[in-house]
Chain A
């Protein structure tokens, strides 16, 4: 019988599901995020709802890191965030193998499930790296006094807010948020993943993720923002050397699907 674990869709929740599965000694397991249907059909045992507890997740991570390594854990974390179909089962097999074989899992690159996990992990790491370059912040004016209501309006910082939109293939917000916290620590900022309706929020040096977000209206860009994005577009155009014109190469490096949010390609005009 295939045991079925229902978790909340987060990485932490998934770790808790892995821990629960491990505890019951289950070899065959299925992991379902909210809304997903079991593929086991007739052979499915009743599904089990797993509660997300930070403690459990941390303990499971510690256990895996001790048995295998920090790098292997980072690898499976990237792979999980690919959101590829069936990635949970794949990672589960990787974890089981890791707990059995220890450190040498990292060298078993020519075998399944290791090579698939590594391939997914590389793809996500690559996309996250790309987005350290592709995120475009825009300066947004804070709503006028009163609009935010009493509570929220009171604690408004003096500096403008930086707002960015992205639509990546993988769920990369958790990987790029710490990177931007280090860079733009002196301003409040938010990165909005439109595809997942998720937001990374940073204020006063700490960041967090918020889900289920939608904008009530178009953000109100500052006057300085308009000037700056015009300068950037003009700079971008003047950097190209006509004698070397090569739009095909450009397109392989900046695929069209990312351009809607890139100022220099006329995004969000």
Chain B
């Protein structure tokens, strides 16, 4: 496995890592220790974008793509006939430093196939990050995968070196996990998640008492799940995410449209990955985290799936027309956030500006508020901006009309790069 030339192994291990969605380098704000190399910024930085439009922020790589597990959805499953390769910890460290110095990347995202045992694999990952921090004095961002089933002591050690740790939940329900990942019991995923969540909370409490207390995964933990490989509804997925955010204080849940890569009979036959569904789930996820929506407001038993023609906020607003229109000069910030087309930045600007001047349509435009959708739900100084009657059918037609979708459904821009307000708006 290690006899292949370095460049070839890099190709293999990058290929095997690309389906892991997590890309962010945000949330950590450590100053570089003097004499060291690198730092992190809380806003995160994207360095480039691949031909599929996904950002590259970190060197996302596997230590090895050999794996003793046989998860049906995974490209690295034992039964898959692909070339295998491995890096030594030293090689990963050197590559990370070389790439970082040239400003190709923000840091390292290290994952791996499971070899020998969960503990052995976890030790290998920790060896890399320890070398980076202690020998190279590297202060940049490091995201480390936790191997399900690894010893709690190793999990604790990983979080002392890394900015973020993550354990992939992969599938929304126990039933699906048992079907597609028979080697990965749900407890092996949930138990370390809970442990990480507790360790983050207690490290945060210690840091409040003393600045010298060691941080634990200061950028929090994240997870990802695969969409479309199993029959779960959007409601099941969004409710699960809500629980992960509220109960485990998860920083991010990533959704990955299933890319069919095997003819395993347990998997559905999909012509293309469900990219639009993935996009709608991210929109709903944003509503949970930054707009004060609850999962049950977006989806319920009668409507278990998100509307594919309509973004979830517009969809919600159209079902609650009795609450609209609202007066832009009067209503609370929380209500403004619920107006389709008004985002966190616009709402903040409106709240600041209206303390000084009464806002009409011209003022809203000057603030940079995009009124395309918002106008149907707003009055400004008592004047309704929509120009049509606020009844169901006509409104939906108007809302949908300008958004002519291309024939091919492309992945939309999820992570625009912006300066420092990102911590508030959720942009990365």
Chain B residues contacting A110 (CB-CB under 8 Å) are 353, 356-357, 359, 363-364, 366-367
CB–CB B412/A249 < 8 A: yes
Question: In the complex, how many angstroms separate the beta carbon of B33 from the nearest chain A beta carbon?
Answer: 10
Chain A residues contacting B99 (CB-CB under 8 Å) are 228, 232
CB neighbors of A among B220-276 (8 A)? 257, 259, 272-273, 275
CB–CB B11/A138 < 8 A: no
Q: How far is the CA of A235 from the CA of B366 in the complex (A)?
A: 43
Interface string of B1-16 (1 = CB under 8 A from A): 0000011001100110
CB–CB A136/B50 < 8 A: no
Chain B residues contacting A184 (CB-CB under 8 Å) are 37, 101
Interface string of A233-260 (1 = CB under 8 A from B): 0111111111111111110111000000
Closest-by-CB residue of B relative to A238 is B14
Question: In the complex, how many angstroms separate the beta carbon of A210 from the nearest chain B beta carbon?
Answer: 20
Chain A residues contacting B50 (CB-CB under 8 Å) are 236, 239-241, 250
Chain A residues contacting B418 (CB-CB under 8 Å) are 126, 129
Is B102 an interface residue when CB atoms closer than 8 A count as contact? yes
Partner of B53, one of A137, A224, A230, A249: A249
Interface size on A, residues (CB 8 A): 63
Is B38 an interface residue when CB atoms closer than 8 A count as contact? yes
CB–CB A243/B56 < 8 A: no
Is A76 an interface residue when CB atoms closer than 8 A count as contact? no
Chain A residues contacting B45 (CB-CB under 8 Å) are 129, 132-133
Closest-by-CB residue of A relative to B416 is A253
Interface size on B, residues (CB 8 A): 67
Partner of B49, one of A111, A235, A253: A253
Is B302 an interface residue when CB atoms closer than 8 A count as contact? no
Label chain B's interface by main secondary structure: loop
CB–CB A136/B102 < 8 A: yes
- Residues A243 and B272 in contact in the complex (CB < 8 Å), given A109-B367, A110-B363: yes
Label chain A's interface by main secondary structure: helix
CB–CB A249/B411 < 8 A: yes
Stretch from A17-25, A62-70, A100-108 contacting the other chain:
A100-108
Q: How far is the CA of A148 from the CA of B257 in the complex (A)?
A: 57
Partner of B51, one of A135, A139, A247: A247
CB–CB A108/B51 < 8 A: no
CB–CB B11/A234 < 8 A: yes
Is B330 an interface residue when CB atoms closer than 8 A count as contact? no
CB–CB B52/A162 < 8 A: no
Question: In the complex, how many angstroms separate the beta carbon of A114 from the nearest chain B beta carbon?
Answer: 9
CB–CB A162/B101 < 8 A: yes
CB neighbors of A among B408-426 (8 A)? 410-413, 416-420
CB neighbors of A among B374-428 (8 A)? 410-413, 416-420
CB–CB A183/B18 < 8 A: no
Partner of B410, one of A125, A179, A248, A263: A248
Q: How far is the CA of A230 from the CA of B7 in the complex (A)?
A: 9
Partner of A185, one of B7, B37, B52, B364: B37
CB neighbors of A among B39-71 (8 A)? 39, 41, 43, 45-57, 59-60
Chain B residues contacting A126 (CB-CB under 8 Å) are 417-419
CB–CB A241/B104 < 8 A: no
Is B323 an interface residue when CB atoms closer than 8 A count as contact? no
CB–CB A134/B43 < 8 A: no
10 further interface pairs, Cβ-Cβ under 8 Å (given A110-B359, A187-B101): A115-B367, A126-B419, A183-B39, A234-B7, A235-B11, A236-B50, A238-B14, A241-B52, A244-B53, A262-B48
Footprint of A on B, CB under 8 Å? Answer: 6-7, 10-11, 14-15, 18-19, 31-32, 34-39, 41, 43, 45-57, 59-60, 95, 98-99, 101-104, 140, 257, 259, 272-273, 275, 349, 352-353, 355-357, 359, 363-364, 366-368, 410-413, 416-420
The 4 A-B pairs at the shortest CB distance, nearest first, are namely A249-B53, A110-B363, A244-B52, A240-B50
